[in-house]
Amino acid sequence: MFRRYTFIAALLLCALGAQGCGDSVKDDLPDEDKPAVPETDWNAAAEKATQSLILHFWNSGNGYFNFDPDKADGPDRDWSYWPEAHAMDVIVDGFIRTGGSPSYKSYYEKWYEGVKLKSGGSYYNTFYDDMEWICLTMIRLYETSRESKYLQTARDLWNDIKTGWNTQYAGGGVAWKKDQPWSKNACSNGPAGIIAARLYDLEKDPEDLEWARRIFDWEYDHLYEPAQGRIYDNVDGRTGTVQNWCFTYNQGTFMGLAHQLWKLTGERSYLNIAVKTASYTIGSENTVRDGVLKDEGNGDGGLFKGIFIRYFVPLVLDGSLSASERKKFDYFLVHCAETLWKEATPDREDPLFGPSWSISGGTVDLGTQVSGAALLEGMAYYMTNK
């Protein structure tokens, strides 16, 4: 009774103009008397994030995504080929989340033609990794539409990508660029292995599975630190010098390749390596700040975190994880999403994401927006399927 009268008295003081009492009343209440904090509707959050990507970055007149927000159909600085794949992946996420919404499907053909035209009439590129990202998106377009042209384009790109493998430098590996056969990078090998694994899963050509294993083995031998679960960025095949930069997206694609191979082969060693790589990524100061994936800047770096999340979510959903692994990964994923949404997104009706997932502000570009949207789409998918 005394507690009830005290609460009423506090409310009266507020009505009479007492300063600062609104929050203190709630803070002083016992837990059972505090209003319940509603859980985030992650499907709604993902929808708003992806619609903001479309609203602010989609070039409707030309069928691709601008690098800068709100450029409409005008000229755009720093347009780049490979971020287009990741932006379109978010559209595919929206299509899956909505059960096949025609509004999301309507972007498939426009993007397919628009990116090709913007790239000079061809999907081929000097950078093998850039083609790999586009190839992976083509596979997803096929998986969600069953339109054969997307799979054929993926096959055409894959055939070109395989020419990047050479044994002259570093004993193998897919080169980063066509004019630099000695530069063997994590960013050109992890995604290439995933392509091979995904194509094998679709068409069961044993040569694709062999490619996936071969690429995995090379990356494990030359760029992976098994004691930690860390992936180094590249090796110069002329000198053998390893560049030990550590980026979230390289962690993500190697983890994703290992996980794909586990699902295809049932060989537990692949799952163990995927778990080790994920554990390092979510626990290392090289990749985490304030309990979330770190700010890796704008431009290319703005995309990195979203790529990790794309391959992390399927791992967290894997029923073969131990209880402790699942709990650890679940906590990290949820914490990243909640921190981004509640602390780094001031406008949740029209969310635009900067390079940090823990504080608001910073320059917004296509990479940072895609990473934030990929996290929220991933969270929505996870909550639906867990």
In degrees and rounded to multiples of 5, residue 251 shows phi and psi of -60, -40
Long-range contacts of the stretch 227-233 (C-beta < 8 A, 24+): 228/280, 228/284, 229/273, 229/276, 229/277, 229/278, 229/279, 229/280, 229/281, 230/277, 230/280, 230/284, 230/286, 231/186, 231/190, 231/277, 232/186, 233/185, 233/186, 233/187
Measured CA to CA, the distance from residue 259 to residue 252 in angstroms comes to 10
Task: Tell whether the model's pLDDT for residue 53 goes beyond 60.
Answer: yes
Same-domain pairing of 137 and 21 = no
Same domain? For 332 and 362 the reply is yes
Residue 78: what pLDDT?
75
By three-state DSSP, how is residue 181 classified? strand
The mean pLDDT value for 56-60 works out to 95
339 and 254 assigned to the same domain: yes
Q: What is the pLDDT of residues 123-144, one digit of tens each?
A: 999 999 999 999 999 999 999 9
The CA distance from 46 to 377, in Å, is 5
Looking at the structure, tell me whether residues 24 and 169 fall in a common domain: no
Answer whether 95's CB lies under 8 Å from 43's CB: no
Q: Which of 376, 234, 365, 235 lies closest to 300 in space, CA to CA?
A: 365
**How is residue 183 annotated by DSSP?**
E
- Cβ count near 256 (within 10 Å): 27
Same domain for 10 and 92, yes or no, is no
Q: Is the pLDDT of residue 285 over 60?
A: yes
Domain housing 33: 1-37
Residues 161 and 192: beta-carbon distance below 8 Å: yes
Say yes or no: 12 and 130 in one domain.
no
In this prediction, residue 16 carries a pLDDT of 35
- In this structure, which amino acid lies at residue 165? W
- Of 62-76, 113-127, 277-291, the range with the lowest mean pLDDT is 62-76
**CATH number of the domain to which 364 belongs:** 1.50.10.20
Q: Which of 6, 36, 32 lies closest to 21 in space, CA to CA?
A: 6
Tell whether the model's pLDDT for residue 15 goes beyond 50.
Answer: no
pLDDT of residue 357: 98
- When pLDDT is averaged across residues 319-325 and rounded to a whole number, the result is 98
Query: Does one domain contain both 7 and 97?
Result: no
Same domain, 142 and 270: yes
Residue 75 has a pLDDT of 67
Q: Are residues 8 and 103 in the same domain?
A: no
Question: pLDDT by residue (tens digit) across 72-90?
Answer: 766 667 789 999 999 999 9
Q: How far apart are CA 199 and CA 201, in angstroms?
A: 5
Q: Determine what percent of the chain is predicted with pLDDT higher than 90.
A: 87
Query: For residue range 336-379, what is the model confidence (pLDDT) as tens digits?
Result: 999 999 999 999 999 999 999 999 999 999 999 999 999 999 99
Q: Which of 281, 302, 300, 307 is nearest to 292 (CA)?
A: 281
What's the rounded mean pLDDT across residues 291-300? 96
**Cβ atoms of residues 83 and 117 within 8 Å:** no
Q: Which DSSP string corresponds to 13-44?
A: HHHTT-TTHHHHHHHHS-GGGSPPPPPP-HHH
Structure tokens at 80: 């780049």
Question: Same domain for 114 and 192?
Answer: yes
Distance of CA 155 to the CA centre of its chain: 23
According to DSSP, the β-strands at 64-65 and 292-293 are unpaired
| Ranges 22-31, 133-142, 292-301: which has the least confidence | 22-31
| pLDDT at residue 27 greater than cutoff 70 | no
Note the pLDDT of residue 327: 98
Biggest alpha carbon–alpha carbon distance for the chain = 83
Average per-residue pLDDT for the chain? 91
d(CA 74, CA 242): 42
Q: Is 129 helix (H, G, I), strand (E, B) or coil?
A: helix
Q: Do 121 and 9 reside in the same domain of the chain?
A: no
How many domains are there within the chain?
A: 2
Here the tokens at position 325 are 């692994």
Identify whether residues 130 and 152 lie together within a single domain: yes
pLDDT-derived band at 71 (thresholds 50, 70, 90) equals: confident
Q: Which two tokens stand for residue 82?
A: 């490979």
Strands 234-236 and 230-231 turn out to be: unpaired
